[in-house]
Structure 1
Amino acid sequence: MNGKAETAGPRERLLLAAERLLYSRGGSVGVSALLEEASVARRSLYEHFGGKDGLVAAVLRRTADEDLAWYECALGDGDSPRGRLLTLFDRLDELVSDAGFRGCRYLAIDLAFADRDHPAHAETDAYRRRIRALLVRELEALGHARPEHAAEQLHLLLEGTLVMGATQNHQHPARVARDLAAIVLDG
């Protein structure tokens, strides 16, 4: 465990362990593995989160904030709304080319929990709405004629990049997506 986890209380250790294990192993990771990784008693899981479902939802809320901050930072590298949106795909290329990249955590969770009433789905849906709002904001700043429609197209390119980045070693799907994004932005 890292130093941050060792000095954290049970709630934080559970969040850190779940974030790590859900990303590396997926939603099927068992409660026992989560408890062992966090070095906490089963009681802590239920006291703080009500069970695994509550822990998964809490992890998604937290990672959504972190991931949205990453998107905002990536957009900040551009010099205009168009440049910011295209630069986002350059940053995605770096992300999906990293050896530790395992794909989109939100898609993985959606696939792992088939029950549409699982609390994780509300979190993944909320995350995607925030991504689309961020894209609409940039498209409106660009003066795009159809910002909502273009945001849906760009979002599809983002999600596709994350999926393809997880499945194709040494490929650069973000570069292809960037070329398509330019067409959307100029449309």
Structure 2
Amino acid sequence: MRPSKRDELVRKALEIFYRDGFHASGMDLLAAETGISKTTMFKHFRSKEELILAVLRLRDERFRGWLFRRMAEVTTPRGQLLAMFDALGEWFDEPGYRSCMFIKASSEFPDPAHPIHAQSAEHKRLLFVETEKIAAAAGAPDPAALARALLLLKEGAIVTAHLGHEAHPASDAKAAAQILIAAALD
């Protein structure tokens, strides 16, 4: 089935916003690069912010789906927690890697009450919920604390990979995660 113009716009806008940022990508640029007129864009979204929210929902769905599928390929919950960092390493090695879209969105829209900032925070909350479940399945006495610690390592690795001053941030974070997991589970 052929995607709708709306779906096509959201997919293409995701690529552009991820590459260039939200404020730097104006509607004229979006129209030029997507081949979808501004008139058509505004038929589907009342504002650029509504389009950004749709893009963030799509990115959330794709990213969480990809990450937790990759983690689920490992049979033990403990191994799944570590597999998060292997998956990150794959992501960091992609030619178009430009950091986390949600970190960037919350930086460009810093007011916690702003819907774009809130959508970004919701993505991080959903990552926590799933990671906490895996930590509980691994037998962590305090799965929330372990999930928070691992996700802090994840976020640090993402930023470090973006800045490019370390050669292997995912494997460095995985080494630290092994220590945290051992302390929590052994």
Q: Provide TM-score, normalisation by structure 2.
A: 0.91
Give the share of equivalent positions with the same residue, in percent: 29
CA distance in 2, matches of 1:167, 1:116: 25
Q: What amino acid sits opposite 1:117 in the alignment?
A: A
Q: Which runs of 5+ in 2 are unaligned?
A: none
Show the counterpart of 1:183: 179
Q: Does 1:83 align with 2:79?
A: yes
Alignment: residue pair count: 182
- Tell me which residue corresponds to 2:19: 24
TM-score (normalised: structure 1) = 0.90
Distance in 1 of aligned mates of 2:93 and 2:38: 37
Distance, in Å, in 1 between the alignment partners of 2:43 and 2:103 is 28
Tell me, yes or no, if structure 1 residue 49 matches structure 2 residue 45: yes
After superposition, the Cα gap between the structure-2 partners of 1:108 and 1:91, relative to the gap in structure 1 and judged at 3 Å, is same
Moved over 6 A (4+): none
Q: For residue 97 of structure 1, what is the amino acid of its counterpart?
A: D
Q: CA RMSD in A?
A: 1.7
Q: Report the residue type matching 2:22 in the other structure.
A: G
Distance 2:112 2:31 in 1: 26
Letter in 2 for 1:25: D
Gapped runs of 5+ residues in structure 1?
Answer: none
The alignment partner of 1:101 has SS state of coil
Contact 2:160/2:166, CA 8 A, preserved across alignment: no
Task: State the Cα deviation string for residues 94-131 of structure 1 (Å, max 9, x = none).
Answer: 21122221111111111122343332112111111110
CA distance in structure 2 between the aligned counterparts of 1:116 and 1:14, rounded to whole angstroms = 27
SS of match in other structure, 1:182: helix
